[in-house]
Protein backbone atom coordinates (compact mmCIF):
# COMPACT_ATOMS: atom_id res chain seq x y z
CA UNK A 1 0.00 0.00 0.00
CA UNK A 2 1.38 3.40 -0.94
CA UNK A 3 0.93 6.58 1.01
CA UNK A 4 -0.26 9.43 -1.25
CA UNK A 5 0.75 13.04 -0.74
CA UNK A 6 -2.62 14.02 0.80
CA UNK A 7 -3.12 10.84 2.81
CA UNK A 8 -2.09 10.43 6.42
CA UNK A 9 -0.71 7.25 7.99
CA UNK A 10 -4.21 5.95 8.75
CA UNK A 11 -5.32 6.06 5.10
CA UNK A 12 -7.27 9.29 5.53
CA UNK A 13 -7.01 12.64 3.83
CA UNK A 14 -5.12 15.16 5.92
CA UNK A 15 -8.38 17.05 6.42
CA UNK A 16 -9.66 14.00 8.34
CA UNK A 17 -12.02 12.79 5.59
CA UNK A 18 -11.59 9.35 4.13
CA UNK A 19 -10.38 9.28 0.56
CA UNK A 20 -12.96 8.51 -2.10
CA UNK A 21 -11.65 5.27 -3.62
CA UNK A 22 -14.89 3.29 -3.79
CA UNK A 23 -13.18 0.08 -4.91
CA UNK A 24 -10.87 -0.14 -1.90
CA UNK A 25 -11.28 -2.20 1.26
CA UNK A 26 -11.29 -1.45 4.96
CA UNK A 27 -9.27 -3.06 7.73
CA UNK A 28 -8.36 -2.67 11.37
CA UNK A 29 -4.91 -1.64 12.48
CA UNK A 30 -3.08 -2.73 15.62
CA UNK A 31 -4.71 -0.02 17.74
CA UNK A 32 -8.26 -0.92 16.72
CA UNK A 33 -8.81 1.93 14.28
CA UNK A 34 -10.53 1.39 10.94
CA UNK A 35 -8.24 2.09 8.00
CA UNK A 36 -9.52 2.51 4.45
CA UNK A 37 -7.11 0.99 1.93
CA UNK A 38 -7.10 2.17 -1.70
CA UNK A 39 -7.50 -0.39 -4.48
CA UNK A 40 -4.25 0.83 -6.06
CA UNK A 41 -5.50 0.46 -9.65
CA UNK A 42 -4.77 2.91 -12.45
CA UNK A 43 -8.35 2.43 -13.66
CA UNK A 44 -9.61 4.04 -10.43
CA UNK A 45 -9.85 7.82 -10.82
CA UNK A 46 -8.85 8.42 -7.19
CA UNK A 47 -6.00 5.92 -7.02
CA UNK A 48 -4.68 7.15 -10.36
CA UNK A 49 -3.96 10.49 -8.69
CA UNK A 50 -2.16 8.78 -5.81
CA UNK A 51 -0.14 6.52 -8.13
CA UNK A 52 0.88 9.39 -10.42
CA UNK A 53 1.88 11.47 -7.41
CA UNK A 54 4.01 8.60 -6.12
CA UNK A 55 5.62 8.20 -9.56
CA UNK A 56 6.39 11.92 -9.62
CA UNK A 57 8.02 11.73 -6.19
CA UNK A 58 10.11 8.78 -7.32
CA UNK A 59 11.27 10.75 -10.37
CA UNK A 60 12.28 13.68 -8.17
CA UNK A 61 13.94 11.35 -5.66
CA UNK A 62 16.02 9.63 -8.36
CA UNK A 63 17.16 12.89 -9.90
CA UNK A 64 18.18 14.22 -6.48
CA UNK A 65 20.29 11.14 -5.70
CA UNK A 66 21.99 10.85 -9.10
CA UNK A 67 25.29 12.77 -9.44
CA UNK A 68 24.82 13.75 -13.10
CA UNK A 69 22.38 15.96 -14.99
CA UNK A 70 18.95 14.72 -15.99
CA UNK A 71 17.20 15.33 -19.29
CA UNK A 72 13.60 15.28 -20.45
CA UNK A 73 13.11 13.56 -23.81
CA UNK A 74 9.87 13.70 -25.78
CA UNK A 75 9.00 11.38 -28.67
CA UNK A 76 5.99 11.53 -30.98
CA UNK A 77 4.50 9.23 -33.59
CA UNK A 78 5.03 9.54 -37.32
CA UNK A 79 2.39 11.22 -39.42
CA UNK A 80 0.98 8.02 -40.89
CA UNK A 81 -0.14 6.83 -37.45
CA UNK A 82 -3.86 7.63 -37.39
CA UNK A 83 -5.23 5.29 -34.72
CA UNK A 84 -4.51 4.81 -31.03
CA UNK A 85 -4.15 1.05 -31.50
CA UNK A 86 -1.38 1.43 -34.08
CA UNK A 87 0.26 4.09 -31.95
CA UNK A 88 0.49 1.84 -28.91
CA UNK A 89 1.89 -1.00 -31.03
CA UNK A 90 4.62 1.27 -32.41
CA UNK A 91 5.25 2.65 -28.93
CA UNK A 92 6.07 -0.80 -27.55
CA UNK A 93 8.40 -1.68 -30.44
CA UNK A 94 9.96 1.78 -30.67
CA UNK A 95 10.64 2.11 -26.96
CA UNK A 96 12.40 -1.27 -26.90
CA UNK A 97 14.59 -0.25 -29.85
CA UNK A 98 15.40 3.13 -28.30
CA UNK A 99 16.26 1.64 -24.91
CA UNK A 100 18.64 -0.88 -26.47
CA UNK A 101 20.29 1.83 -28.61
CA UNK A 102 21.09 3.94 -25.54
CA UNK A 103 22.34 0.88 -23.65
CA UNK A 104 24.68 0.02 -26.51
CA UNK A 105 26.07 3.54 -26.45
CA UNK A 106 26.59 3.86 -22.68
CA UNK A 107 26.51 0.33 -21.31
CA UNK A 108 23.58 1.27 -19.06
CA UNK A 109 20.50 3.47 -19.25
CA UNK A 110 18.74 4.89 -16.20
CA UNK A 111 15.35 6.33 -17.03
CA UNK A 112 11.77 6.98 -15.98
CA UNK A 113 9.39 6.99 -18.92
CA UNK A 114 5.70 7.75 -19.08
CA UNK A 115 3.02 7.93 -21.74
CA UNK A 116 0.79 10.87 -22.57
CA UNK A 117 -2.30 10.46 -24.74
CA UNK A 118 -2.63 13.31 -27.22
CA UNK A 119 -6.16 14.76 -26.86
CA UNK A 120 -6.18 16.25 -30.38
CA UNK A 121 -4.89 13.22 -32.32
CA UNK A 122 -7.52 10.52 -31.76
CA UNK A 123 -5.93 9.39 -28.50
CA UNK A 124 -2.56 8.67 -30.10
CA UNK A 125 0.15 8.36 -27.46
CA UNK A 126 3.54 9.96 -27.26
CA UNK A 127 6.35 9.25 -24.86
CA UNK A 128 8.22 11.34 -22.30
CA UNK A 129 11.40 10.04 -20.74
CA UNK A 130 13.45 11.39 -17.86
CA UNK A 131 16.96 10.22 -18.70
CA UNK A 132 20.01 10.39 -16.46
CA UNK A 133 22.27 10.66 -19.50
CA UNK A 134 22.19 12.85 -22.62
CA UNK A 135 21.06 11.33 -25.90
CA UNK A 136 23.95 9.44 -27.54
CA UNK A 137 23.18 11.21 -30.84
CA UNK A 138 20.95 14.02 -32.03
CA UNK A 139 17.60 13.35 -30.36
CA UNK A 140 15.66 13.55 -33.65
CA UNK A 141 17.91 10.92 -35.23
CA UNK A 142 17.64 8.66 -32.17
CA UNK A 143 13.86 8.95 -32.32
CA UNK A 144 13.55 8.23 -36.04
CA UNK A 145 15.97 5.29 -35.98
CA UNK A 146 13.90 3.75 -33.19
CA UNK A 147 10.62 4.03 -35.07
CA UNK A 148 9.22 7.26 -33.63
CA UNK A 149 8.50 10.47 -35.53
CA UNK A 150 11.13 13.05 -36.38
CA UNK A 151 9.54 15.58 -34.03
CA UNK A 152 11.46 14.96 -30.81
CA UNK A 153 13.12 17.10 -28.17
CA UNK A 154 15.67 16.99 -25.36
CA UNK A 155 15.96 19.55 -22.59
CA UNK A 156 18.01 19.81 -19.44
CA UNK A 157 15.86 19.36 -16.34
CA UNK A 158 15.99 22.07 -13.74
CA UNK A 159 14.13 22.02 -10.44
CA UNK A 160 10.92 20.02 -10.04
CA UNK A 161 9.62 20.40 -13.59
CA UNK A 162 9.97 16.75 -14.60
CA UNK A 163 8.20 15.42 -11.51
CA UNK A 164 5.40 17.96 -11.92
CA UNK A 165 5.02 16.96 -15.55
CA UNK A 166 4.69 13.29 -14.62
CA UNK A 167 1.98 14.00 -12.05
CA UNK A 168 0.07 16.30 -14.40
CA UNK A 169 -0.15 14.08 -17.44
CA UNK A 170 -0.10 10.55 -16.06
CA UNK A 171 -3.01 11.30 -13.71
CA UNK A 172 -5.17 12.33 -16.68
CA UNK A 173 -5.00 8.97 -18.42
CA UNK A 174 -8.12 6.86 -17.94
CA UNK A 175 -9.90 4.17 -19.90
CA UNK A 176 -8.15 5.18 -23.15
CA UNK A 177 -5.05 3.29 -22.03
CA UNK A 178 -4.88 -0.36 -23.19
CA UNK A 179 -5.50 -2.97 -20.52
CA UNK A 180 -2.37 -3.94 -18.55
CA UNK A 181 -0.32 -1.27 -20.31
CA UNK A 182 2.50 0.07 -18.13
CA UNK A 183 1.90 3.81 -17.95
CA UNK A 184 5.11 4.52 -16.03
CA UNK A 185 8.36 2.59 -16.45
CA UNK A 186 11.51 2.86 -14.36
CA UNK A 187 14.86 1.31 -15.15
CA UNK A 188 15.97 -1.35 -12.68
CA UNK A 189 18.61 0.81 -11.02
CA UNK A 190 16.39 3.88 -10.66
CA UNK A 191 16.23 4.56 -6.88
CA UNK A 192 13.04 3.35 -5.21
CA UNK A 193 11.20 5.50 -2.69
CA UNK A 194 11.68 4.64 0.98
CA UNK A 195 8.87 2.48 2.35
CA UNK A 196 6.20 4.56 4.10
CA UNK A 197 5.97 4.40 7.87
CA UNK A 198 2.56 3.73 9.40
CA UNK A 199 1.34 4.22 12.93
CA UNK A 200 0.75 0.49 13.35
CA UNK A 201 0.40 -2.77 11.48
CA UNK A 202 -2.67 -3.12 9.30
CA UNK A 203 -4.64 -6.37 9.26
CA UNK A 204 -6.94 -6.73 6.24
CA UNK A 205 -9.54 -9.48 6.03
CA UNK A 206 -8.09 -12.62 4.48
CA UNK A 207 -9.55 -14.32 1.43
CA UNK A 208 -12.53 -16.45 2.44
CA UNK A 209 -12.53 -15.10 6.00
CA UNK A 210 -15.97 -14.15 7.32
CA UNK A 211 -16.69 -11.04 9.37
CA UNK A 212 -16.96 -12.70 12.78
CA UNK A 213 -13.80 -14.83 12.40
CA UNK A 214 -12.04 -11.66 11.27
CA UNK A 215 -13.24 -9.70 14.31
CA UNK A 216 -12.16 -12.51 16.63
CA UNK A 217 -8.71 -12.48 15.04
CA UNK A 218 -8.44 -8.70 15.44
CA UNK A 219 -9.65 -8.99 19.02
CA UNK A 220 -6.58 -11.07 19.88
CA UNK A 221 -4.36 -8.38 18.38
CA UNK A 222 -5.98 -5.26 19.81
CA UNK A 223 -7.40 -6.55 23.11
CA UNK A 224 -10.80 -5.13 22.19
CA UNK A 225 -13.89 -7.31 22.33
CA UNK A 226 -15.70 -8.43 19.19
CA UNK A 227 -18.61 -6.20 20.16
CA UNK A 228 -16.38 -3.17 20.55
CA UNK A 229 -14.75 -3.79 17.17
CA UNK A 230 -18.15 -4.20 15.54
CA UNK A 231 -19.29 -0.88 17.00
CA UNK A 232 -16.11 0.87 15.82
CA UNK A 233 -16.59 -0.48 12.30
CA UNK A 234 -20.23 0.64 12.26
CA UNK A 235 -19.31 4.11 13.51
CA UNK A 236 -16.71 4.39 10.74
CA UNK A 237 -19.43 3.95 8.13
CA UNK A 238 -18.15 0.71 6.56
CA UNK A 239 -20.55 -1.87 5.13
CA UNK A 240 -20.71 -4.95 7.37
Q: Does residue 237 sit within a domain?
A: no
Q: Does residue 227 sit within a domain?
A: no
Q: In total, how many domains does the chain have?
A: 1
3-32 tens-digit pLDDT: 333 334 334 333 333 356 766 788 998 889
- Asked whether residue 107 carries a pLDDT value surpassing 90, the answer given is yes
Grade residue 207 by pLDDT with cuts at 50, 70 and 90: confident
Q: Does residue 120 sit within a domain?
A: yes
171-191 tens-digit pLDDT: 555 556 777 778 889 999 999
What is the domain range of residue 171? 45-186
Strand 25-29's sheet: what is its strand order? 34-37, 25-29, 202-204
Q: Does residue 171 sit within a domain?
A: yes
Q: Does residue 33 sit within a domain?
A: no
CB 54 within 8 A of CB 4: yes
Mean pLDDT of the chain: 81
Q: Does residue 76 sit within a domain?
A: yes
- Asked whether residue 87 carries a pLDDT value surpassing 70, the answer given is yes
Flag whether the pTM goes above 0.85: no
Q: Does residue 4 sit within a domain?
A: no
Query: What integer pLDDT is reported at residue 229 of this predicted model?
Result: 92
- Residue 7 has phi, psi (to 5 degrees) of -115, 135
Q: Does residue 213 sit within a domain?
A: no
Domain of 97, CATH number, reads 3.30.70
Amino acid sequence: MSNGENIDNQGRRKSGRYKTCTAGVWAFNATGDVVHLPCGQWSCSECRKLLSGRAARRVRYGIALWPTDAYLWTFTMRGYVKTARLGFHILRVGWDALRKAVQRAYGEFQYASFVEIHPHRSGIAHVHCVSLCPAPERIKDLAYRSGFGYIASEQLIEGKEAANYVAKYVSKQGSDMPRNFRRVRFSRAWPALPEPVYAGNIYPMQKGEGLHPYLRRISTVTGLTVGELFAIAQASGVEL
